[in-house]
Structure 1
């Protein structure tokens, strides 16, 4: 293998994962790997990490619990903007491994549907290795790398990582309907992956002149465009496009979708300039103080904060912006997802200071300008009906200590 023991590598995740090589890289011995692999999209198991190899990532996965305990996986709890800062200041990588399209007539290979940290990592890498894959769509307004700059290459013919949202239930459609009613024509939209973002894209078909400024977009963008909901004169921007094979086929050659690095999407200085940014993020639970847990379920780390906190704060403070947290009122047998205080061992991924509105299928809790007690009352009002009396009693106990 071209990569030697002790070398530092950057390996992209999401749709940028170099699937033909990723198992070999993670399973190699003695490498120092930084990666942006995403739970549920780019699965990684403890036993897949080679002896002496250490992997550093933004997202925790339950399958990496053993590796985290042993030190072979390092979960760094920080946002995309903070991770970018770390990459720019840290020791240069020996290699940045990227999956790219075959070179065009000018010798340029497109990064296609995923940029994320790759532009910054390539700048901080001594050498770039290219996995040249004809499945990678050529996106005119995505980063590219000169074929001549690649210090190593391999050819692959493997489909890009895909994502399917699955069936969307009636409660999720109701949440999306509530959110759509909050968003005016001409707004900028940020969403993540999942059932609520997918349903929201459908609920926004009747809107007009919408702009996309998001960390990630999926298949819902096609319906929005076909419905005439998007501003045709705007450069819709994202760090990654992730979805079905049909989405990648649709993306190929499009100049109205700009796939850019984190430095052009997530930074506070960038978000401050995006007017009327409506950031819509999901949470596992929200407590009566307005704190949002996006990472821990039943006391176990299952994910990471990603870019949610970047967008929540950017929208909260930006001109005309709104930070929205969306979640079902209940989750199976786990009970209410509006809770008195975050669960034991859970973390507050998004501060209560960065939340404007919380939406469940039960309604809209607008927290803007409200006192601590008024916020709690509003949040209890969007909890499941059967949970409201117990929550009120629990809040009375909490309030007595404030």
Structure 2
């Protein structure tokens, strides 16, 4: 069959969705934007639809508009701002997970009826590229009863484990929207201080993993003087692209996939997407493998760099929730932190600002609070246990917690807290019995 026989309109594709369907869509820039943006239009014809997402970027009405909350549910592996805003509607729920197990554990619980995502147009051999993500996408495509892909010529063609033959696709929708971008956050003064601290621990030839945000971007910027870095990462970032273009990243010392940038997904600027397009040095590989701590640990000198929201004085990291309120997700934080520490000469860094500015509930005025705390907020999710924390970094320094006692951790973490909070943290640590006077 010629693949063009499988091309249908968005309207026709929507008619393929039935009541009680379990739908999975791609991560971030790999989501099926046209399908999801129009999904609410079938609300009167279906009921009890569940859409499983990760890092959704479109403000689609099916979940943002409370009018549709009784028809559509969203269940997500990682929250974004649009999910946080509309969580109050009552039809959005988080799926606790380590990212390398997101697909396999979900499939152990429920089988998707429908997979919707995007891909490049088919090549001369009949293969599309899933382009910007294979965290879970290919496994879900193989498991789904119905596969509908939006074929977008603006997507970069990537290599690795992202090829799907048209014979394994039921329907295709021709689209041409711009690929969603993640702006390159400009590092602030705190970011740059933290980046400088971490860069002192990164050596020529190390293999790195970076997360999302200003701090990882600052770390990337601070590495421009390094040589022959490798990359084995969950997310391929704009900062990594800049290092590769500058010749800092060569991958020549990696134990495997030598010379290759290995990632599970790509998210960033158009310049990043242009860089990965038809670039054989970039491999997008199944997140179940890429993020497996055992696999990560096989690279000598692996370095993991992630951020957190709050750290308690024993080293517990709450990186995804504000108390019991879901903010983001565990993602690959535990995967990469544990994996890096399995590696020969591996290191793991958790970075955060020492303080946060919040609005006082009584006065309405802004106030500074410490992000290093005696105890996590009630209900906070522990994304990285105190057993797995290695280095913690703020703009005031680096606390090395590997192998330390609670008493030593209290001292080390207080030393990198904001000076205005150090005395109070000490008093509270004594009060709750973490240390003695």
Q: Same fold (TM over 0.5)?
A: yes
The Cα offsets for residues 291-332 of structure 1, whole Å up to 9 and x where unpaired, read as 011122365321111111111222233332222100111122
Distance across 2 between alignment mates of 1:223 and 1:312: 24
SS in structure 1 at match of 2:65? helix
Shift, 1:65, TM fit: 2.2
Which residue of the other structure, out of 75, 85, 94, is the alignment partner of 1:63?
85
Post-superposition CA distance 1:112-142 (Å, at most 9, x none): 1221110111121123111001111111335
In the superposition, relative to structure 1, how do residues 400 and 260 fare at CA in structure 2: closer, same or farther (>3 Å)? closer
- Write the mapping of 1:1-400 to structure 2, written as runs, cut at 5 A: 1-25=15-39, 28=42, 29-30=46-47, 32-38=49-55, 41-43=57-59, 45-47=63-65, 49=68, 51-60=70-79, 61-67=83-89, 70=90, 72-233=91-252, 234-297=259-322, 300-332=325-357, 333-399=367-433
TM-score for the superposition, normalised by structure 2: 0.86
Q: What SS does structure 2 have at the residue aligned with 1:87?
A: helix
Residues 101 and 110 in structure 1, CA contact (< 8 A), matched pair in contact too: yes
Distance 2:275 2:201 in 1: 29
Aligned equivalents of 1:301, 1:343: Cα separation in 2: 13
1:100/1:111 contact within 8 Å kept: yes
Deviation at 1:339, TM superposition (A): 1.0
Q: Show CA shifts across 1:19-75 (max 9, x none).
A: 122222366543543433316x455644265533332211243223224xx4x3231
In the aligned structure 2, how far is the partner of 1:84 from the partner of 1:54?
19
Aligned counterparts of 1:400 and 1:55: Cα–Cα separation in 2: 41
Q: What TM-score does the superposition give when structure 1 sets the normalisation length?
A: 0.93
Give structure 1 stretches of 5+ with no counterpart: none
Alpha-carbon distance between aligned partners in 1 of 2:167 and 2:434, rounded to the nearest angstrom: 68
Larger Rg: 2
CA RMSD of aligned residues (A): 2.1
Note closer, same or farther for the CA distance 1:400–1:226 as it changes in structure 2 (3 Å cut).
Answer: closer
Cα deviation 1:121-170 (Å, max 9, x = unaligned): 11211231110011111113351211232111111111111101333211
More deviation in 52-61 or 220-229?
52-61
Cα distance in 1 for partners of 2:38, 2:93 equals: 19
1:342 shift after superposition: 0.8
Inter-partner Cα distance in structure 2 for 1:159 and 1:193? 21
Q: Counterpart in 1 of 2:11?
A: none
* Structure 2 residues without counterparts, runs of 5 or longer: 1-14, 253-258, 358-366
Q: Secondary structure at the match of 2:288?
A: helix
The number of residues matched between the two structures is 398
CA distance in 1, matches of 2:48, 2:249: 44
